Amino acid sequence: DQQVKQNSPSLSVQEGRISILNCDYTNSMFDYFLWYKKYPAEGPTFLISISSIKDKNEDGRFTVFLNKSAKHLSLHIVPSQPGDSAVYFCAASKKQGAQKLVFGQGTRLTINP
Amino acid sequence: NAGVTQTPKFQVLKTGQSMTLQCAQDMNHNSMYWYRQDPGMGLRLIYYSASEGTTDKGEVPNGYNVSRLNKREFSLRLESAAPSQTSVYFCASSEGAANYGYTFGSGTRLTVV
């Protein structure tokens, strides 16, 4: 049972445009949501997070939006740059308990010049 | 700062062989994790250690064992490797609250033939 889903395996965006990556979750107990970025042959690196008490968090070119009623979050990258080409994973955790991260399947983002 | 160090980076095993994947972190983190990454499956938790002296099963623990040797080190052992264990393995550590984000190692690419 996939509790965190990224339904788009890949996304191609032109340089300078907005990239929007989507993520859905099924477990209403999740309290925190995170996005990770992964380059080939490297480990994932933390990008941005959002608490369930917020609906938006912004960090430079990256903004994460959370819609709790729809159990949906999205990552916006504006403007997209060639260095943003990577695989993006969304992840979720519960505040209580063991605080493990549950990851989605990942979306490969390609920024075209 | 080394962060999270995994060894080896690559390994080829024959079916039935055993091996131990090593992981060490130098950030004084309490919690450590082992994930595997497979195409289309994202990152799945194998085992984790919330603190020194404790270990617990994750989503896909079958065929694996772990040891939290001390606060710094968390090893993953395959007692009798199977082709289904061909994967990329990532070790991660965190402060203890998953919302702070994990720091990942660069991964071990394991092939079982």
Q: For B11-23, what is each residue's pLDDT tens digit?
A: 999 999 999 999 9
Q: Is the peptide bond before B39 cis (omega within 30 degrees of 0)?
A: no
Size of interface A-B (CB pairs under 8 A): 66
- Tell me what pLDDT residue A94 has: 83
Q: How much is the pLDDT for B1? A: 62
Contact flag A99-B31 (C-beta cutoff 8 Å): yes
The mean pLDDT value for A52-80 works out to: 97
Residue B98 in this model has a pLDDT that exceeds 60:
no
The closest CB to that of B102, out of A42, A46, A102, belongs to: A46
Q: Would you say residue B48 has pLDDT above 80?
A: yes
pLDDT of residue A100: 84
Statement: residue B96 has pLDDT above 90: no
What is the pLDDT at residue B54? 92
Report the pLDDT value the prediction gives residue A16, as an integer from 0 to 100.
97
Q: What are the chain A neighbours of B96 within 8 Å (beta carbons)? A: 99
pLDDT of residue A98 exceeding 70, the answer is no
> Which chain B residues have a beta carbon less than 8 Å from that of A98?
48, 50, 56
For residue A63, name the pLDDT band (cuts at 50, 70, 90): very high
Residues 6 or more apart whose CB falls under 8 angstroms from that of A107 comprise A6, A8, A9, A10, A11, A21, A22, A87, A88
User: CA B80 to CA B68: how far, in whole Å?
Assistant: 20
pLDDT computed for residue A2 by the predictor: 79
Helix (H) or strand (E) holding A15: none
Measured between beta carbons, the chain A residues lying within 8 angstroms of B56 are 98
Q: How far is A113 from chain B (nearest CA, A)?
A: 27
Closest Cα in chain A to B4: A43
Reference B97, options A109, A95, A26, A76; nearest CA is A95
DSSP H or E run through B53: none
By the CB < 8 Å criterion, does A48 face chain B?
no
